[in-house]
Amino acid sequence: MREPNLRIAERQSLDGEVLVCGRFDGEPIETAGFAPEVRGVLDRLAARPGFRGREEQRAEAEVELAGRPAVVSVCGLGPRDEFSPRDLAAWFLRIVEIARGLGARRIAVALPGHPALAGEAGAERALAGLLLAGYRYERFLAEESQKAPLQEIEVAAPPGEDPAYRAALETALAVAAAGAYARDLANTPPNEAGPQWLEERARELGESHGLEIEVLDAAELTRRGMGGLLAVGAGSAQPPRLIRLAAGTEGPLVAFVGKGITFDSGGISIKPAKDMDEMKYDKGGACAVLGLLRAAIDLALPVRIRGYLAVAENLLDGRSYRPGDILRCANGKTVEITNTDAEGRLVLADALTWAAAEEPDTLIELSTLTGACGVALGTHLAGLFTPDDRLAEELLAAGTESGERLWRLPIGPEYLEEMRGQHADLRNSAGRLGSACTAAAFLSQFVGDVARWAHLDIASVVHRSAEELGQKGATGFGVALCVRWLQRAAPAS
């Protein structure tokens, strides 16, 4: 989708068809800086009986802005001390729904003073979040069913924060565009988005953004001994491939690896029918890597950046790999198959081996790896696994600042011991208990001598299953997080 134009404006000059403000529970509405006619409307709304600013409350009135009729809408934000970045995102979704309900194409938003909206990091998160609140994936809807998108958003920064918001605008625009791009890729259905399609999208990005691209086809995968990727993709009519994208000549070398299973049936260990349609999102890690590469190039971040996409389709066929098979991966380790639905770690094993061989300063891998991570953390945070405390601190901080939050989980030697095979070096599944941790321990065997590496399990945050004001579908999780980390941590690594 095309993002609306966004600009920073002074409160007195806001002139959208809808002007939205927020009010914290029990507090006055911030009216300083508004034009007199707007201040008068806000004062009247604040005085309405029963309107305190509770989260579910809203008050509206008509006003004339810049000689045109408009609507002023004040949304309750709940208690100030409970307001979080997640509440901010929910408010932005409500703002877009208000505008859509009124048929508005131009909106103005006056942001209140609050720590969640302060500083350059808060500004980036707010501006990108406001742009992405209008995201809808409507490619396959009949034209008459599609809602008119927003065309313009004016934002008045919180009091005293105007310089931070102007400084953050370029990054926010790039992150929002890249996030929408990653969402579009992940939302694309599997009858269109197979391995060949994802390769084509990678080639398009390489051409438009000056990225070198190299694609290993089935023959080259065979020559390199990449048995994990070959086995997982064997049941599909479209062969697997491993895609490498590269850019930059100066700065630290940073590698991102993404899982790109374009559809995951589970193979012979077939998944239940319920929610199997959501397995198109199993390519979400690769989509996030493409998105963050796009943003990094757009922002000219001072790093040498590499992206590796392990792409396959896990289907059933006479050629499909089986429980009991023993595979040999690119680094020579053998893996006994106990569950063909534990396929992500197999394709990542070969991708990580290639990435590690190029000796990056930092290696970060993103994958929809385990349902167990969602059982542990729900849909609010992604799992972070790394043996490096400093890298963990950097990523946790970037997650907090970007709004894509992480929680560190253990990756000790006891989990690796559970992954030892009976007749091979490793097995690809040790059962359900602690399976997010055992999966991470498995991946640790394919990072070579790279000490600064991290695995991000994004399975439970890669898409929204429940309708959230029209935004059911892919989230693009990982783009904003990794761009924020690159901005702050990568140059210093």
Active site residues: 271, 345
* CB contact burial 453-480 (16+ within 10 A = b; e otherwise): bbbbbbbbbbbeeeeeebbebbbbbbbb
Sheet of 212-216, strand order? 212-216, 241-247, 304-314, 253-264, 362-367, 453-457, 382-385, 406-408
**Cα 320 vs. chain centroid, distance in angstroms?**
31
Q: Which of 22, 248, 35 is nearest to 114 (CA)?
A: 22
For residue 22, list its beta bridge partners: 75
d(CA 228, CA 230): 5
Work out the burial of residue 364: count CB atoms within 10 Å of its CB; fewer than 13 is exposed, 13-18 middle, 19 or more buried: buried
Is the torsion defined by CA of 315, 316, 317, 318 positive or negative?
positive
d(CA 112, CA 23): 8
Residue type, 240: P
Strands (E), 103-211: 106-110, 152-156
